[in-house]
Structure 1
Amino acid sequence: MPITFRRSFRILPGVRININRRSWSVTFGSKNGPRYTRSSTGRDTYSVDLPGPFGFRTTRRRNRED
């Protein structure tokens, strides 16, 4: 069984820092409203929870500049 690590810190209302064993990310938005997450691995994710068991999420990969 693999060992996992994930930690999330609220730094301001509506802003969270998320850390796991491979990367970190910053999330803007509320739990029940729209959210935008930007990851250190080059991902941008937009997500919205819809009524009931439904939701919408789209992820885009950024061009990383070396």
Structure 2
Amino acid sequence: MPLTFRKSFRILPGVRLNINKKSWSITTGGKNGPRHTRSSTGRRTTSMDLPGPFGWRRTTRSRRTSG
């Protein structure tokens, strides 16, 4: 089993800074309602817990243009 590094810090109520080996991300939102995550790699995720064992997630990746 490989070793992984992941750390999460609460910087404000409802705002978390997540750090792992290759990138970092900011998550806003709480337990009730949607959560929005923006990653340093350009990925955006919106997720929400639904009643019971269900959940919803939508992930998009922004296109970076070289100029």
TM-score (normalised: structure 1)? 0.92
4+ runs deviating over 3 angstroms: none
Identity of aligned residues (%): 71
Q: Which amino acid aligns with 1:35?
A: R
CA–CA distance in 2 between the matches of 1:19 and 1:31? 20
Deviations 1:8-64 (A, max 9, x none): 000001000000111100001002321000001110000000001001000000122
How many residues of Structure 1 are paired with residues of Structure 2 in the alignment? 66
Partner of 1:12: 12
Which structure would you say has the larger Rg? 2
Letter in 2 for 1:9: F
List alignment gaps of at least 5 residues for structure 1: none
Please tell me the residue identity of whatever aligns with 2:50. Answer: L
TM-score (norm 2): 0.91
Give the root-mean-square deviation of aligned CA atoms. 1.0
